[in-house]
Amino acid sequence: MNDKPVVIDHFSDLLCVWAYAAQIRLDELKHEFGQQVHINYHFVPIFAVVEKRIGEGWQDKGSYAGFGKHVLEVCQQFPHVEISADVWCGEIPKSSANAHLFLKAVQLLEQAGEISCDGQSFCEGRSLFEETAWRLRQLFFRDNKNISRLECQLALAEEMELPCDRIVELLHDGSAMAALCRDTDLCQEYGVAGSPSYLLNEGRQKLYGNVGYKVIAANVQEILNQPQHQASWC
């Protein structure tokens, strides 16, 4: 049996409803496997240019209102998520990239040990970074907030008791941008085309989209059970 944790590279876009609905699967993975899995979080720029993807891409299907209706229909399949009836209406985010940049700054603080990686009592088993990412998704899908705005991001940081001055410093000095660009490089290296995507076994196993929890868990279990230095059959 493999005694090393299974590394899962998770790629998502904050504005992707499928990734929002799939958060419960990541939580269950951590609950079931504990220290046997390690999740690396990356961002893929699916909604980097919202006007092109929705404003133009959905022009013949109702534009933003039509896309909002589609998102509501998707969420009807997942009763565990909360969704605003006005999603994708009102003040529309220009890009998911701003929110991704903010989260890379938070992630860098966690990696440097400046904030806890174990989470707090209000994090429900998530790290501070994971909880911040989840709450940012909630702000958009549940509360209909424009999470591309820095003031929205920093208000959440204050609520989470994160060091706003350090976050802004990492945004200003290019550190967060470098980390986000690295995510983009990884998307190209691994051929990640959508959100959410799960890469296991150093990219040899790739799961994409609305993948059921049992499928993800089976892939993890296969890697855990295989002898070291032996190719997976999964």
User: Does residue 121 carry a pLDDT above 60?
Assistant: no
- Over the stretch 141-197, which tens digit does the pLDDT of each residue have? 999 999 999 999 999 999 999 999 999 999 999 999 999 999 999 999 999 989 999
pTM of the predicted protein model: 0.93
pLDDT over 60 at 14, yes or no: yes
Give the dihedral sign, CA 183/147/166/40.
negative
- Asked if 12 and 196 touch (Cβ cutoff 8 Å), the reply is yes
Q: Which residues pair with 78 in a beta bridge?
A: none
CB 176 within 8 A of CB 186: no
Residue-range domains of the chain with CATH: 6-225 (3.40.30.10)
pLDDT in tens, 69-119: 999 999 999 999 999 999 999 899 999 999 999 999 999 999 999 998 776
What lies within 8 Å, CB to CB, of 98 at 6+ separation is: 147, 148, 149, 150, 153
Encoded tokens for 203:
């990219």
Percent of the chain with pLDDT over 90: 87
Please check whether residue 157 is in contact with residue 134, taking contact to mean a CB–CB distance below 8 angstroms.
no
End-to-end CA distance of the chain: 15
